Amino acid sequence: MKSRSFLARGIRVSGVALVAGTLLLTGCSGGGAGGGNQSGAAGGDSEGVVKVGVSMPTQTSERWIADGDAVKEELEAAGHTVDLQFANDDIPTQTQQIDQMITNGAQVLVVAAIDGTALSSQLDAAGAAGIPVISYDRLIRDNENVDFYVSFDNYKVGVAQATALLSGLGITDADGDELSGRPTGPLNIELFAGSPDDNNAGFFFDGAMDTLKPYLDDGTLVVKSTQTDFDQVAILRWSQEGAQKRMEDLVTSTYGGGTVPLAGVLSPFDGLSRGIITALQNAGYGSTIADGLPVVTGQDAEVASVKLINEGVQQSTIFKDTRTLAAQAVKVVESIAAGEEPEANDTTTYDNGVKVVPSYLLPVETIYKDDIKSKLIDSGYYTQTEVEEGVVK
């Protein structure tokens, strides 16, 4: 289905309705289906200021707290009103919060969904009220009322994770170029994937598997458990406890309780990585990579995992700078508030099952121990003390 233009949706911004690209002077009486919005469903004041509902999935992960706070701070600095809510990984809570945002007159919604398929009625209500919906980092699926998507290049995240694993195993360098004299295997590895209700998890897994495939095919790498399908390795809700339990089960069923060599584990998120590492350490594989702990990858540069990388326990993480993602989301809101089409750099990749959603994708960086100072501390993302203690101050 062809993407709808913001200019063709009758969005009211700055007291002016934009209909099919034509500016029509309006009054303040056109309330939308949500009620309570006396200036129109997506209307702002004469300064182009809008009320933005920001829905984040949880506060159990530090990255979502950072995302929510960054979006709120930047929008408020630009003069907009923000209603920020965290849903604590509970789908009914998120649906209720978004319903309330619409009722309370939100004119734009920025939503990072817990379950990308569970918000249909809220999206329908937003569409009926002319409220643009920006899908934040996680693509919302199976509904036409998703107007824009801001995220990182999620396929490349998976490529970067697999490349980090290959580098840690001595097969390639950090850029993915094959090393001469590399091990020919077989090296045992295991695979983990993210939550099956998160659209990003599939992109991460596909990027990683496409990168690992040549070495799985030639026998350099072996998934000893034979669990290589996404559904076999996915961890619901990105649960650290779920990842630890699955790794413990694999150690028992496949690795002789820790007596069979395991070279590495593909992990798509730092929370999962910490659960995996705990299981491996408890099984006697070593406390650090230097003394035999398998290479474990990660994502999100959570400070607890950055501390582990600094200590030689976790091998790597993928840094998705929440500051740049929040800033891009704010740019999209600002474009909408100005009655303009937001800039997209991808209009073909992200099909949500009903339409291809115009997207802006940001680059990612791999963090190894040697990168912590230059990429995380010197940039102001963390302080040296936070890295050393593994806690954000």
Encode pLDDT of 37-51 as tens digits. 333 444 454 467 899
**pLDDT reading at 296 higher than 50:** yes
Mean pLDDT of 330-335: 95
**Predicted local confidence at residue 18, as pLDDT:** 34
134 has a pLDDT exceeding 80 = yes
* Mean pLDDT of the 152-177 span: 97
CA distance 53 to 55: 6
Per-residue pLDDT band for 111 (boundaries 50, 70, 90) equals: very high
Q: What would the mean pLDDT of 207-225 be, rounded to a whole number?
A: 98
Query: What separation in angstroms does the CA of 308 have from each of 168, 268, 287, 391?
Result: 15, 16, 11, 12
Q: Tell me, what's the pLDDT at 6?
A: 52
d(CA 377, CA 371): 9
Q: Rounded to whole angstroms, how far apart are CA atoms 122 and 105?
A: 14
Average pLDDT value for the chain: 89
**Alpha-carbon gap, residue 276 to 334, rounded angstroms:** 41
CATH placement of domain 154-320+367-389: 3.40.50.2300
- Quick one: average pLDDT of 270-293? 98
Mean pLDDT over 359-372 rounds to 97
pLDDT digits (tens, 9 = 90+) for 252-263: 999 999 999 999
Select from 133, 174, 171, 156 the least CA-distant residue to 299.
156
> What CATH topology corresponds to 6-146+322-362?
Rossmann fold (3.40.50)
pTM across the whole model: 0.81
6-146+322-362 and 154-320+367-389: same fold?
yes
Per-domain boundaries in the chain: 6-146+322-362, 154-320+367-389
Whole-angstrom CA distances from 32 to 80, 111, 129, 264, 337 are 20, 20, 5, 54, 17
- Residue 68 Cα distances to 72, 74, 133, 346, 355, angstroms: 6, 10, 16, 24, 27
